[in-house]
A and B are shown apart, each in its own frame.
Chain A
């Protein structure tokens, strides 16, 4: 695979692959060499790394919610992040809160995911009755038997006492099937 395009520059996806150590030795050498001569590609790389820093900072500040993996949560904890986890059984609920020094909230939603092709999550909040927010096509590992839900920690921290439900919906061939509903009964941290 050539490292450069016909315009003589390295495409951003190749720069990212190089940065993430996905390139083989020959391609790594070619991109190393190119970057020693091409400031335009160097600036694209700087922009990419600035964006990566921005994503990390936004996530660490609790401004970004996501569906992730158990391994990712384990890496966060291993890196010293204060993680508060709630494990919810099928159709279960939990009393929950966010402590002042918590950096990440994790909901582990247990579900039978075998055979599911596409999974959506429907979110509802008691402070906005009747309003449903649907997250379409969430990533999941069917073998894991759980969906790792990371709400925006900063938003939850600011919120008054409320109930938040997440309904997992399997979609297959135009037919939808609720897999389970999970209830978070949030209370602000006392004195927080």
Chain B
């Protein structure tokens, strides 16, 4: 019987990353440059997001992304990753291991990067553009006071609802409701401003 992860992998057999991974596996090592670049374009941003969430540092997340992609391409080239449809699962597993190992295995990371850095197909990955903070300020101004306060206190240093609740005489549930309402209004206002400016 298939595990949930294997079933999920099977359902993603025709996903673009699985197709690119198959092309790498099927080619002599180092000759599938286009497929490697495509795989990088698809998976590197996802690995970076994982790193941002779990490492809380954009430089560390960028390092994790590079390391995981180097490892993935190495494994595909060498044939060690024999089921290309599992490439996303492999990347997730590698991300998890990297985060766990990061503090105790700096040396291996440097070795890998040294060996593969020149070889890596560095694609120009998409990162959300920075917003005009004056527009964000204008939109914050239109929120109810509680919404503005909760969003500022949340986003200033990524404070969870229960931390804010304790400081503002609210329940964590209240904070989440206020946060959700404020975020929804803020997104619509910022999006509206961006469309108007375009």
Chain A positions within 8 Å of B129 at CB level? 50
The answer to whether B130 touches A50 (Cβ under 8 A) is yes
Q: Are B92 and A20 touching (Cβ within 8 A)? A: no
Contact status of A53 and B156, CB under 8 A, knowing A140-B169, A141-B169: no
Secondary structure of the A side of the interface?
Answer: helix
In Å, the complex CA distance between A50 and B45 comes to 15
Contact A58 B133 (CB under 8 A): yes
Q: Are B128 and A66 touching (Cβ within 8 A)? A: no
How long is the Cα–Cα vector from A72 to B167 in the complex, in angstroms? Answer: 8
Chain B residues with CB below 8 A from A138, complex form = 145-146, 149
Give 1 or 0 for each of A61-95: 1 = CB within 8 Å of chain B CB.
10110111111100110010000000000000000
Closest CB in chain B relative to A48 CB, distance in Å: 8
Chain B residues with Cβ below 8 Å from A48 are 183
| Of B32-40, B47-55, B104-112, the one with at least 4 CB within 8 A of chain A | B47-55
A67 to chain B, nearest CB (A): 5
A137–B146 contact, CB under 8 A? Answer: yes
Interface residue? A32 (CB, 8 A): yes
B82 located at the interface, meaning its Cβ lies under 8 Å from any Cβ of chain A in the complex: no
Interface assignment of A139: CB less than 8 Å from any CB of chain B: yes
Contact B133 A139 (CB under 8 A): no
CB-CB < 8 A to A32: which residues of B?
50, 53, 92, 95-96
- Determine whether B15 belongs to the interface, using a CB cutoff of 8 Å to chain A: yes
Residues B148 and A64 in contact, CB atoms below 8 Å apart = yes
Chain B residues near A (Cβ < 8 Å): 8, 12, 15, 42-43, 45-47, 49-50, 52-53, 88-89, 91-92, 95-96, 126-137, 140-141, 144-146, 148-162, 164, 167-170, 176, 179-180, 183, 186-187, 190
